Amino acid sequence: MENVNQQEQEQELTPEQLTERKEQMLSFYKESIPYLEAQLNYENLLTSIDEVRFKRTNIQMQYAMLASEMQEGPEEETTEPTKRTLKKK
């Protein structure tokens, strides 16, 4: 409903009012740019931090797996493989 009312108001604007409205919008967007750039920088820094944390955690997991394999020692097969034979009919 608001959208219909807004469209009616826009249709009633004179060319001078429309030009003034466009200038106000442009001014608002230009004033917002420094805040948006700061937010972009903030989000990029957070992303970089998350990537570094992921890499560090991944390396720690690989190291832990390697250490546990070394503690267990080499895996030796203690059982001989079973010999399979075909059944006679």
72-73-75 Cα angle (round to 5): 100
Cα pseudo-dihedral 36, 39, 44, 46, rounded to 10: -170
Residue type, 6: Q
pLDDT tens for each residue of 20-39: 999 999 999 999 999 999 99
- Render 41-70 in DSSP notation, one character per residue: HHHHHHHHHHHHHHHHHHHHHHHHHHHHHH
Residue showing tokens 């807004």: 6
Q: pTM of the prediction?
A: 0.53
Residues 6 or more apart in contact with residue 21 via CB below 8 angstroms: 13
pLDDT tens for each residue of 46-87: 999 999 999 999 999 999 999 998 888 766 556 667 777 777
